Chains A and B, each alone.
Chain A
Amino acid sequence: MNPLVIAPALLPLLAAILLLLLRHPNLRLRRWVSLVAVLGQVGLALALMAAVSAGDILVYALGHWPAPFGIVLVADRLTAWMLVITSLLALFALLYAIRGDDATGRHFHILFQLQLFGLNGAFLTGDLFNLFVFFEILLLASYGLLLHGGGRERTRAGLHFVVINLLGSTLFLFAVGTLYGVLGALNMADLAVKVAATPAENVALVRAAGLLLFGVFALKAALLPFYLWLPAAYTHTSAAVAALFAIMTKVGAYSILRVYTLIFGANAGPAADLIEPWLLPLALATLIIGMLGAVASTGLRQQTAYLVVASVGSLLAAFGLTSSAGIAAGLYYLPHTTFAAAALCLRAEVIARQRASVGARLALGPALADSRRLGGLFLITAVAVAGLPPLSGFLGKFLTLRAALAHPQWPWVMGAVLTAGLLSLIALARTGSLLFYRADPNLEVPGTPSNGIGELVPIIGLLLLGLGLTVGAGPLFDQARAIAEQMWQPQLYIQAVLNPGGSP
């Protein structure tokens, strides 16, 4: 029992409780507590990654109740990978938030830590019902964060977000209930064993529950046709929260990857490869729709939100190739797209603030005060998002396409991914030229002056992470490939959870 497994979930919870107890309205103190907690999570996530890098699967049985009777937390390579991405993203989102976004309400830092608690817990848990509970924790915190600061538009977007997610939770419970009713198991490893041995008369029920679960995860991941909640929610919340939400859709993608390789994977007997006919077409359609949305957007924030939708599409298209190489490409693409989307969100707000009344609308506006610096950042982010060489987006896309060559439907994948690349180029080039070249000289009213280089630091940091992904592409892709290989051998996971320390 390695306490390192539970620490990434406990630390943000304890930090949130501590912040809740700090009645003193001292914002500086809260900021420091929050920042130290997030830095601690980065450290813990890296330590966990080092601990599992040799291929060990660490299992933590809560209360020493052995699986499948108790709830287990499981850390394998995929979990550690997701935890590192989450904590790094949270660090930069927080660095941006403490420059002012957190002062508009009293509970920002508490909600922020609780959101991280939910996220880390969702990545760590090895129990399907526990996954539901962590989903609810992260959703409840995200409702609070989404509405943080108030305002009409935020309330309206928040209402839709809350209702659709409550419906998703209900469906999740129906799916989990059906699986328990038929198979009598909730532990994921135990479910994997029992799904493979489903008697013939129950196969239809198990498949229905599995597909219902896919619907829930597709809703969280904003896959077509369930993406409609995302643009409004991301457009109207504050930039730091939108940046943190870049990981929210990835929770859905992670759950799809986990559940449909482990429980309904190739070894699942009558329910094997359950979502294979659905995932790839839906992902490619999401990619195209997201890019079309980005081209048609009337606002900078809205465009960013549609680019997030499109990135989910390309991520799940890589996973949908149902091959080890495809999953590895998707896992390499995942941190890139998360960091790039967060950088886009933060950058959109910095630009909007300098455009006074025009704000984030894509209309002719006044010249930006420091257009050179912002323009440079815009160019780099755009290159990263559109997947042009030399940044990591290009590598991710290239790896996806290379993995796609082995798939029978490869012309569709090629066509969709390359068309989407062209569309994103059009959308971003149009936005960039409107923002930086076609300024209206008659509109001399300057927006809020630049807050100096300070507010650009988180954006630059996120882009540097992207650069790190490019420079370290070799070892990082090896790591992604190692994760994919581990995902491809679910019996290792089952063995580690159900038979700890036992011989095979």
Chain B
Amino acid sequence: MEFLIALIIGVLTASGVYLVLRARTFPVVLGLTFLSYAVNLFLFAMGRLTLGQPPVIAPNASGYTDPVPQALVLTAIVIGFAMTAFALVLALKARAELGNDHVDGEDAP
């Protein structure tokens, strides 16, 4: 499972970095989304991967999973979501005001 999670995070990050470096605003926003998915998974995995364990104190629990990364990732998801929405609206505004969707606002000749 560790290998699979690591692979997913790696692929998401690589795709995110590639897309962020594109010249059009839509791929850039998609790339930011991929990067935030990657970092959310990464944060979650930092509490170690455990199966079927409760995060809060329970009677008869054989072990616990770390609740802190779950709280962190919740915060990070909310913030990342809001930021992505903002970036998307800004990209649309730039498309409307500058007349094209190049990140520099002008098409290469």
* Given A166-B87, A173-B43, also A136-B103 (CB < 8 A): no
Q: For residue A160, which residues in chain B have a CB less than 8 angstroms away from its CB?
A: 103
Residues of A within 8 A of B (CB-CB), count: 27
Check A163–B32 contact: CB distance below 8 A.
yes
**A150-B80 Cα distance, complex, nearest whole Å:** 24
Check A177–B43 contact: CB distance below 8 A.
yes
Q: For residue A158, which residues in chain B have a CB less than 8 angstroms away from its CB?
A: 90
Q: Which residue of A lies closest to B99 (CB)?
A: A152
Asked if A174 is an interface residue, CB under 8 A from chain B, the answer is: yes
A/B interface sample: 30 pairs, CB < 8 A? A129-B72, A140-B82, A140-B83, A140-B86, A147-B90, A155-B97, A155-B98, A155-B105, A156-B98, A156-B105, A159-B25, A159-B103, A160-B103, A162-B86, A163-B32, A166-B87, A167-B32, A169-B80, A170-B39, A173-B76, A174-B39, A174-B42, A178-B46, A180-B43, A180-B46, A180-B68, A180-B69, A180-B72, A181-B47, A186-B68
**A221-B28 Cα distance, complex, nearest whole Å:** 24
Within 8 A of A (CB), among B63-87: 68-69, 72, 75-76, 79-80, 82-84, 86-87
What residues make up the interface of A, taking CB atoms closer than 8 Å to B?
A: 129, 133, 136, 140, 143, 147, 150, 152, 155-156, 158-160, 162-163, 166-167, 169-170, 173-174, 176-178, 180-181, 186
Q: For residue B45, which residues in chain A have a CB less than 8 angstroms away from its CB?
A: 181
Asked if B14 is an interface residue, CB under 8 A from chain A, the answer is: no
Q: Residue A155 contacts which of B20, B47, B86, B93 (CB distance < 8 angstroms)?
A: B93
**A178-B69 Cα distance, complex, nearest whole Å:** 11
Check B83–A159 contact: CB distance below 8 A.
no
Check A177–B46 contact: CB distance below 8 A.
yes
> Shortest distance in angstroms between A390's beta carbon and chain B's nearest beta carbon?
44
> Shortest distance in angstroms between B26's beta carbon and chain A's nearest beta carbon?
12
Which 8 pairs from chain A and chain B are nearest by CB? A181-B46, A156-B105, A177-B43, A173-B39, A177-B46, A170-B35, A136-B79, A155-B94
**A258-B42 Cα distance, complex, nearest whole Å:** 26
Within 8 A of A (CB), among B1-52: 20, 25, 28, 32, 35-36, 38-39, 42-43, 45-48
Of the listed residues B43, B80, B82, the one surrounded by the most CB atoms of chain A closer than 10 A to its CB is B43
Q: For residue B97, which residues in chain A have a CB less than 8 angstroms away from its CB?
A: 150, 152, 155
Check B87–A163 contact: CB distance below 8 A.
yes
Q: For residue A170, which residues in chain B have a CB less than 8 angstroms away from its CB?
A: 32, 35-36, 38-39
Q: For residue B38, which residues in chain A have a CB less than 8 angstroms away from its CB?
A: 170
**A133-B83 Cα distance, complex, nearest whole Å:** 12
Check B42–A167 contact: CB distance below 8 A.
no
